A and B are shown apart, each in its own frame.
Chain A
Amino acid sequence: MDKLNINQHISQQYNSALDDLKTEFLALGGIVEQQIIKAVKSITDVDVDLAAEVMAVEKEVDKREIVLDDLCTQIIARRQPTASDLRLVMAISKATRDLERMGDEANKIAKMAIAISESETLPHGFSELRNLGRQVQDEVNITLTAFARYDVDMALQVVDKDEEIDREYATAMRELITYMMEDPRNISRAMSIIWSLRSLERIGDHAGNISEQVIYLVKGLDIRHKTADEVAEQVSQD
């Protein structure tokens, strides 16, 4: 945190308000990360109890999203933050939305786990799901660590990794389409896996968005909607 010297304001209250904001954000990050891990496990292990656990956390995530929004609003209203403080508040305000969406996607995966548990035969695609799940979990973990440490290099890794995840997702989709074409009776079962893969891919996108916010926060650069090469060039120029 002290790379950006958040704790050195003349006003101790301002220090603690920004500290609280970041702590709350990372706490929400931790909860959502756990939700994702459990959601993937619930589907690959077809564990209904675990899926129920994931779904039970949703309300908590929603509540924390509101608290974070309120903290951001209060800081803007009372402190009129500037420069790195302003970027921190803006970044957290946007990243919170991404975290909440990631939680929603984890929830969808948990629902699919329950749906799969109710079907008689297990569908294909578990290994793809496990693979993509592992990668996305990594991506989320690196993203949150990058945020906690204000680490641009780690954030850039995520931006790169996201393209890899997109490729992996496309490959898994091709596999599953082939599986469905082989026997139309596979379709409804395969759809659960497809929806889950889709959710994982979305989680990866949200993690990518948060990483972009880390770069904005630390460097003051807006790298959204740019290719990986353009991003690398922009960051190295600065």
Chain B
Amino acid sequence: MTEIKGDIVVDQKTTMTTNNKVVLDGDNDKTVGEPFVENAKMSMRHVNVFYGEKQAIFDVNLDIASNQVVAMIGPSGCGKSTFLRCLNRMNDTISICRVDGKLFLEEQDINDKKMDVVPLRARVGMVFQKPNPFPKSIYDNVAYGPRIHGLADRRSDLDEIVETSLQKAGLWDEVKDRLHQPGIGLSGGQQQRLCIARTIAVSPEVILMDEPCSALDPIATAKIEELIDELSQNYTIAIVTHSMQQAARVSHRTAYFHLGKLIEVNETEKVFTNPDHSLTEAYITGRFG
């Protein structure tokens, strides 16, 4: 079955199969599953990434649907974080990194060199592996973005943004009485939620999360996962995670990367019960990694 979308032709399944699993053929390693969706918030086409001479991402095509959570999984060094960092031009900070291809945020190609990355990063926010609050008060951490982007004219507007952001991040009740204490005084899980509050304070459309729970304990992880679910009602989320169970718990769709190639994209439900590709199967069942 072949689907044609724009100028891209993708085989839904390659012809070579054993035991209903698609086998990776060196010359025929197109992405299996359904990389494209109807209501795409972001659409990546023919994305190739190079670090100097070395190619890290090979011709990746992927849509991220509005108000959905896409999880990117794969072994270390498979390029999932590199790919995530393309989505708000974070790779610009690495001098030897070159990103080719088209990356659309709605209709706009964000990989266009003329694109101003500052407003882009307000639209596509990012949460990192380790909580990294600014050495400022809890209030100022959240208020920082709205201030520099000029989103609030009056103090009362700013107060409101801070409160609603902290509420959306599920942190308000825990910090409302100590808003002016330093953010780094919070626990790891609270700091990570503060970083999420800081990200959503500038009303992004997309939130990128790069292993947001890997430094957190299971309870803090559960709270962040719960938050991801709530946030997906208003935001589009792409998350890179090493925890397959986390991908299974939080995402609507799962993308499996292997050696810089996007091997399979499918509904999460399908990926974890009956993946199309033998490599996906091998990885999620713990046969290599």
Q: Which of B20, B281, B286 contacts A10 (CB 8 A)?
A: B286
How many whole Å from A60's CB to the nearest CB in chain B? 33
Of the listed stretches B36-44, B123-131, B134-142, B269-277, name the one at the interface; the rest are far from the partner chain: B269-277
- Where the two chains meet, the residues of B that have a C-beta atom closer than 8 Å to any C-beta of A are 19-20, 244-245, 248, 272-275, 280-282, 284-289
The 8 A CB mask of A21-41 against B (1 = contact, 0 = none) is: 000000000000000000000
Q: Is residue A127 contacting chain B, with contact meaning CB distance below 8 A?
A: no
Q: Which of B245, B248, B281, B289 has the most C-beta atoms of chain A within 10 angstroms of its own C-beta?
A: B281
Docked Cα-Cα span, A85 to B272, in Å, equals 10
Q: How far is the CB of B150 from chain A (nearest CB, A)?
A: 47
Are A9's CB and B20's CB within 8 A? no
* B285 CB contact (under 8 Å) in A82, A218, A220: A82
**In the complex, which residues of chain B have a beta carbon less than 8 angstroms from the beta carbon of A220?**
20, 273-274
B288: A residues at CB distance < 8 A: 10
Chain A interface (Cβ within 8 Å of chain B)?
A: 3-5, 8-11, 14, 80-87, 218-220, 238
Q: How far is the CA of A9 from the CA of B285 in the complex (A)?
A: 7
**Set of chain A residues within 8 Å of B248, measured between Cβ atoms:** 82
Q: List 28 A-B contacts (CB under 8 A).
A: A4-B19, A9-B287, A10-B286, A10-B288, A10-B289, A11-B286, A14-B286, A80-B245, A81-B285, A82-B244, A82-B248, A82-B272, A82-B273, A83-B272, A83-B273, A83-B275, A83-B281, A83-B284, A83-B285, A84-B281, A84-B285, A85-B285, A86-B273, A87-B273, A87-B274, A219-B20, A220-B20, A238-B20
Contact B20 A86 (CB under 8 A): no
Q: Tell which of B273, B275, B287, B289 touches A5, judged by Cβ atoms closer than 8 Å.
A: B287
Write out the residue numbers on chain A whose beta carbons fall within 8 Å of the beta carbon of B245: 80
- Tell me the complex Cα distance, A219–B284, Å: 17
Shortest CB-to-CB span from B107 to chain A, Å, is: 37
Contacts of A218 in B (CB 8 A): 19-20
CA distance A224 to B20 in the complex (A): 19
List residues of chain B with CB within 8 A of the CB of A85. 285
Which residues of the other chain, A, contact B284 by a CB distance below 8 angstroms? 82-83
Q: Is the CB of A86 within 8 A of B19?
A: no
Point out which of B20, B287, B289 has the most chain A C-beta atoms below 10 A from its C-beta: B287
Given known contacts A3-B19, A219-B20, A238-B20, is B286 in contact with A83 (CB within 8 Å)? Answer: no
Closest to B244 in A: A82
Most chain A Cβ neighbours within 10 Å, of B273, B282, B284, B285 = B285
| Residues of chain B contacted by A5 (CB below 8 angstroms) | 282, 287
Bound Cα distance A5, B283 (Å): 12
In addition to A9-B287, A82-B248, 12 A-B residue pairs with Cβ atoms within 8 Å of each other are: A8-B287, A9-B286, A10-B286, A14-B286, A82-B272, A82-B284, A83-B272, A83-B274, A84-B281, A218-B19, A219-B20, A220-B274
Closest 10 CB pairs of A and B: A220-B274, A82-B284, A8-B287, A82-B272, A85-B285, A83-B281, A9-B286, A83-B285, A10-B286, A9-B287
A3-B17 Cα distance, complex, nearest whole Å: 13
